[in-house]
Every structure is written in structure tokens, then in C-alpha cells.
Amino acid sequence: MRLFKFFVSFAMTLALVYFLDNRWVIGKAPLPPLGKLLDPFHGFWQNIEPRGYKPPAELQIPGLQDKVTLVFDSLAVPHIFASNDADLYLAQGYITAMHRLWQMEIQTHAAAGRVAEIAGPAGLENDRYMRRLGMAYGAQHALESMMKNDTTRMMIEKYAEGINAYIQSLHYGDLAFEYKLLDYRPEPWTPLKSALLLKNMAYSLCMRDKDMEMTNALRLFGPEVVDLLYPDQEGVGEPIVDQPGSWKFAGVLSDSVPMALPPELIQVKKKPGADPTTGSNNWAVHGSKTATGTPMLCNDPHLNLSLPSLWYVVQLHGPGANCMGASLPGTPGIIIGFTDSVAWGVTNAQRDLIDWFRITYKDSSRRQYRLDERWADTRPVVETIAVRGEDAVSDTVYYTHWGPITYDHTFRSNNNHVDYAFRWIAHDPSLELLTFYKLNRARSFDDYKEALNTYQAPAQNFVFASVQGDVAMRIQGKFPARRKNEGRFVLDGSIRTNGWQAFIPVEQNITYRNPPRGFVSSANQYPVDNTYPYYITASSWEAYRNRRINSVLGQDTSLTVADMMALQTDNYNLKAAESLPAWLKQLDSARLSPAEMTAFDILKAWNYTNTADAEGAAYYEAWWDSLYPGLIWDELLKGDTLLDVPSTYTTLRLMREKPDLAFFDIQRTPQKETVADIVRLAFSKSVQTVEQWKKDHAGSTKVPWGAYKDSRINHLLRLEPLSAAVNAGGNHDIVNAFSKTHGPSWRMVVSLEKTGVKAWGLYPGGQSGNPGSPHYADMIDPWVNGKYPALHFLQTAGQAADRFSSIVLTPSEE
């Protein structure tokens, strides 16, 4: 009997070990081996980092040539001091991996189309799409350029060495929580991964186009309606650079390009790509307008907010370099920051850098296509996609003179957006990393200008300021010298001359230095005055943030750092100020229900400021959301035909100027509605929406904007316990552009004083990617409340007043 009990107990133990140490699937969700995950000595418990934790005082790192000192401040920002560039970038790779390795790896897997290796079949759709976009194709071209340049080759190779030195030091217990949860280990880092991260930024920032939508609109409505609904220029506010008649060159091309209208309407689901709320603000103020008499520079790029954060703050101190700011985990150098002489920042330039070309195949084999009266060969590339737990999947992508055929009968075949080649500027060889190497060492306007000469994509508005007193803006990228209407519509891929024939010479890119108004600024608006000799188009331009920024900067002559912080967190809703009074006039207060009367009174008393507690902001946004796009542009959204809705500004302008426009009529009703009718209908719908929200939120009697907006900063895996709910003001079209999931991903203010550069900065997250660390999300509350910590810009490793801990990295024998 005792032997029987022993065998029963032993069998149960074996079964428990088997159950806990193997992956199981519940529904479609795979579980990690629970035994490993829950192991108190090596599992997720080991990722809980006590407050006050300090890393080892000394580490031996293979590949170093000399000693490197890392000083950490109270926010876990590393200040790296190295005696040579190679050690500087190796140490940057090592320490960034220590804090952010899983984030770096999952983002490069996503960009390369390798998510299914980790997530199984759930990642297959993403992987096929990213490979068909040619993400690795573009990254390989960028890597080849970087490897040909001695400086950038050194940077990416040493950075990769540092990451791999950290990876090689890891045991299971040291792995990030997400590795344990998903049950896999990091692979060696390669320079290609850094190139992929740069292309992933290009995907986020310059993947917006509406060629298909505009082609359909042209076929359905004709050119006059297209120009009315989708003007190239909306004629609102000041362009980024406004200096009519000062362009001393002619465009390199002037002839027009024919359009290629397909014989049928393009019926396709909306393409993924850059979020329309993605944007940014930057400005630099001349010393003539500041309290110190010296320039100030500000930047806040608006991107999808995530935990871990997109950015990682670091200081790099080496021979000829002392710079600090926001780095992109996975790539060496600093992207947005300052030195002891200059500061720089970026906003997205919005320009259309994508074209679609209709391909005519010789036959169903897709081996040849028409190009200049002959049959040219396609280049088939077989993509083998590893799928965890299943057999690998093969997918053939056909490349043409223009680029890859993204959609065909085998991929997203539920639409006829097939057999179009994808031409994207990010596929071209490029050397952006050299730009940041030079900016990280810049000391003057000439250094800034020279650094930007190698920058291509994604196109950015680079703001600049220096201790010498200069402020400047340069709109930098590799821009096709487009002909009138080129880029707005689908093109005929059988004619080579329909493609990009030339690029705007780098010296002819739009530049502004020390303008008379005393500041430069950009917020994704139209870039330049009408005398600039090149045709410019984009999927959209910003119309509100830029005017608010320019209005504030134009009024004051003794601006302070506190003023700059207040402007970055400014919640004034210019769109509401320009539209709401006219809407309210359309309402007859005598005919409103009690709930509608409450909304009416709140809206009349509202000061157009989207603070977290503003009820008027919630009612206004509910009203706008009821109007746009559904009630106004419903004709453009019904059915399967791909069409784009006009911009917010154009919509509001047409409501004012053409209230009887046919599009304002709701076609499903027998009567003909005007703007007044749909404004009243939308108001009633919006009040019903708000009343339902109140019921759903414990019968609340109020609707504060922050709660109604329900903003979130999501973990990259969308795991609720690792994400953060944020009660805050702001919204798209507002300087504080914090919408539901997008917003200022990094806020920086730099005062370029001759006695020493001073800077402040933060982002909605923390330096550590470890959810068990006190530094995982410790900057979120200060970010919401506009409480900027100082960025401690050290001149020596022994200077740190805010020193929390330090590590000395020493060479080791490999």
C-alpha cells in the first residue's frame, strides 16, 4: 500500500512537472510554461526591482578598448563617459539593452515580418504585410550604405557589440518579463536590426498616402469636385517658411505627368499606415524675444504612446562629443537633443513620398510586365516565414522597376487593390545615421547644415538653435521633384517616365534662418509660400496647432522657460473656438430637451480649453464626432469603394462657405438637409452619447473631458496590467496633442545660454522597460502635470550632483 501511494504521488509530481514545464493553449492563446514563469528563484519574481536598487559598481565587458564610466541620475538616465568613439557606442548599446532589450527585439521582429516566430499564427498577417512592403529590402539598402562609410560602420558594429555583450551575460532569471511570458530567448543583435528600427520610424512617419482614394474620387466626381474637397493647399495660417520671392532657383522639372485611371473603382479596405493623429510641434525663439536674451528651442514629437517608451534618454560624452537627449533604443546616437553649443529637434514633414503604379502583366505567371513597349522581368523573392508551433509559410513577393507588388491574388484577395507596385522613398539607400553622428557633435549653424546634407527619410522639419544666437528651420529629406498633380493619383506603371525623374537638390530644400519675426516653428502645416518653385503634395496638412503656436510666440518679447513649458502643454482648442459659436446659433433653445439644454448651457460657458475637468470639451468632441465623418461624408464611406474624407479644416470651411453643398444632404432621407439640419441632428445624437456615457459610468452627473477621452498608454503587448490609464487634457488639433493613445512622446525645452546650456525633458513612461522597476512609468505623472525635470548635462563624470549610482565598465579578455 505504501508503495502504491509512493507511485501515485510520484506520478502526480511528474504530471505536475510536465504540466508546468510545457506550453499549453487555451482557446487560441498560448500559455508559457508556468513552472518556469512562477519559479521564485528564476521566474518573473526576479524581475521585481526594489526601490533603491543599484547595479554592480563594476562590470567587465568584452570588446572595450578602455575604461568607460556610466553615471545614473535619480531617473535612471545614464551619462556615458568614454575616451574613444568605439567604446562610447559599445557602452550605449550595452546600457540600452540592459534597460530595453525586449522592446528593441520585438520592434525589429515586427519590422522584419518575424512576429509569427514568437506569437505563432496570430502574427502571420503582420509578417506577410511587412515583407510585402519591403521593410527588410529598404533596411538592407540602408545597411549597405552605412557599411560603406567608416563612421557609421563603426557606430552600428560597436553598438551591436555592446548589445551582444549584454545578451551573452544573461541567464534565464535575468531575462525580461516578456521573454519569460512568451517563453523565448533573445537572439544575437545584428547591424541590420538597427537599420530595421530606422525603417520602422519611416513606416510610422511617411507611410501616409491617398493615391487610391484620390483616383477613385477623380473617377466618381471629376477634377472640380476633387479640387474642392481635397485641395493641395487649404490657404490657412502661415507656412513653416514664408519668404515670398526669395527663392533664387528654378525647379528642375516643369512638365506634367499623365494619370493612370484604372478601368474600375478600387474596392479595398483601408490600408494600414501612419496614424492620422501622428504629428509634432517644434520651435526655436531668437534671443530678441526671450527673457535671457539667448535662444530657446522646444520639441514634442507626437506619436503612438507605449510602454516601454519609444525613447530612451542618454548623455554621450566622448572625444569631440558631449550631447544629451532622446535616443531610439536599438540605434546608436541621439535623435533629438543638444550639445554644449546647439540644440535640434524634429517634426514630420508630411510630404507624399509614396506612389502606386498599376502593373500590366504579360500573363498569369506574373513573370513579366509591360515597361516602355517591352516585357520586363519581375524579380520573384520567396519569403519563408517561420511560424511557432506550425510549419513555415512561403510567400512570393514580386519586385518590379518601381518596387514590390504589395497586394496580389494571394494576399488580401478580398479586394481588387492588387497588381500595383509600391514606390517608397524608404526603400532607397540612405545614411541617416551619419546625420545624427554629426548633429551630436555640432557647434554652429554651419555644422547643422552640413549634418543634414546626408539625411533622406523620413522627411523632417529640423529646428535648430545655437549659443551664437542663430535659430533656423530646414525641411530636410530626399524629395522627388514632382510635376503638377504627380503623387496625387495612381500612375501607369508601363511607362518609365511616369516615375520620379529627379530629386530636389539638397541645397534647394526649404530653409529659414533668423527670420524677422524672431522665431521659427513647425507643426506639420504646409511647408512654404507659393513662390517656392516645386510642386508639393501630401495626404494632409495641419491647420490649428501651428496657428496657436505662432499666435503665442508672436505676442511676447520676454519669453521664459516656464512660458515654453506652458505652450507645450497648452490645451486651447482653436478648432472649437472657430466652429462652436456658429453651431450654437443653429439651435433653438426653446425646443431642447432638459439634457440638451444642460449641454447647451455648458457649451455656451466653455472657454474652449480641453483641460481634464472641462465638461464643455467632452460635449464639443461628442458633437464633432457625431458630425464628422458619418453625417457629413457618409456618401464617401458607404460601400466597398476606397475613398478618403476631406480634412477637418476643409470640412469646417465648406460648412461655412457652402452650406447647401450636395454632400451635406443625407441621401437616405426624403428631404434635402443643409448644414443647419445636420448640425442640429448631430447635437441630439451627441447628447444621447454623453447621457449613455454617464449611465455607463456609475450614473455620473458630470462628464469631465479626461474621463470621457479615456486615454491610455498601452504596453506593446496590449497587456492591461502593464499599461497605464491616464486622466489628462489635450486632444488632436490642440498643441497638447494627447488624444486617446497618441500624444507628445518626448517633451524637451533647451535654453542656449552663453554661461551654459540648460535643458528640461521627459516622456510618458520611464527609462526601464521592466514592469517590475520603479523606473518603468515614473515620468507619467510629471508628464501629465507639466512638471519637467531638469536634464543634468554633465561635463565630467565626477560632477553629478544628482548621482544615484554608477558603473565602471572595463575591458575583459574574451
* Cα–Cα dist 24/390, whole Å: 14
CA-nearest of 626, 635, 647 to 732 is 647
Q: How far is 218 from 196, CA to CA, in rounded Å? A: 36
Q: How far is CA 701 from CA 592, 603, 626, in A?
A: 19, 16, 21
Environment class of 183 (CB within 10 Å of its CB; exposed 0-12, middle 13-18, buried 19+): middle
Find, among 293, 259, 282, the residue nearest to 525 by Cα.
Answer: 282
Give Cα separations from 733 to 409, 525, 615 (angstroms).
39, 11, 18
Q: Give the span between the Cα atoms of 665 and 659, in whole angstroms.
A: 10
- Asked whether residue 644 is marked as a ligand-binding residue, the answer is no
Who's near 598: CB < 8 A, 6+ residues apart? none
Three-state SS for 373-389 is CCEEECEEEEEEECCCC
Q: How far apart are CA 695 and CA 487, in angstroms?
A: 48
The dihedral sign for the CA sequence 172, 174, 179, 180: positive
Three-state DSSP class for residue 466: strand
| Bridge pairing between strands 296-304 and 742-744 | antiparallel
What is the rounded CA–CA span in Å between residue 181 and residue 107? 17
CA separation for the pair 338, 756 (Å, rounded):
12
Q: Give the DSSP H or E segment for 59.
A: strand 58-62
Active site annotation includes 280: yes
Contact 294, 64 (CB under 8 A): no
Q: What H or E segment, with its residue span, contains residue 156? A: helix 150-168
Per annotation, catalytic residue among 194, 280, 539, 773? 280
Partners of residue 408 on adjacent β-strands? 411
The residues near 529 (Cβ < 8 Å, ≥ 6 apart) are 239, 241, 242, 243, 244
In one-letter notation, the amino acid at residue 350 is Q
Write the CB contacts of 235 (distance below 8 Å, at least 6 apart in sequence). Answer: none
Q: Is 408 annotated as a binding residue?
A: no
CA distance linking residue 63 with residue 687, whole number of Å: 65
Task: Report the alpha-carbon distance of residue 131 to residue 613 in Å, rounded.
Answer: 45
* Calpha distance 80→69 (Å, rounded): 6
CA distances from 700 to 430, 690, 691, 696 (A): 55, 10, 9, 8
Q: Which residues are part of a known binding site for Ca(2+)?
A: 352, 355
Residues involved in catalysis: 280
Binding-site members are: 352, 355
